[in-house]
Amino acid sequence: MSGRSRFLHCVCVLGLLVAFSGMAAEALDRPQIEAQKLLLDQQRHEITATYAQAARQCWQRFMVNDCLHVARLQRRQALALIEKQDQALRAAQRALTVIERQERLDAKQPDSKELHDVRP
């Protein structure tokens, strides 16, 4: 790996560690990222279903607006946590893409030693 490639790799790894400060650091490959995305989608769906149920229950109460306000607030807070995790996953996916692209470019470029050894 060339010096530039090592530097880029270190920067990307550091970015991944910062991005995953609240999540498991071992989720760095594509299948694990996709599994985490599916889990977040399920959690989003559960939050939406919980809100819908709470909203239906609010209509059975006398103070509907206050109840709906509390239900919306709880939904927004829960979705904000999910969104933070989703942003970290997207950052990890972008960093992984950069690393993979750099590795492909490094593999295409011949080593400088090989170029010097080819002389007749």
Placement of tokens 């990307």 in the chain: 12
pLDDT computed for residue 110 by the predictor: 75
pLDDT computed for residue 113 by the predictor: 58
The pLDDT tens digits of the residues spanning 29-78 come to 889 999 999 999 999 999 999 999 999 999 998 888 999 999 999 999 99
Greatest C-alpha distance within the chain:
93
DSSP state of 87: H
Domain boundaries of the chain, sorted by first residue? 3-111
Region of 27 please: left (phi>0), alpha (psi -120 to 50) or beta: beta
Q: What 3-state DSSP class applies to 22?
A: coil
pTM of the predicted model as reported, rounded to 2 decimal places:
0.62
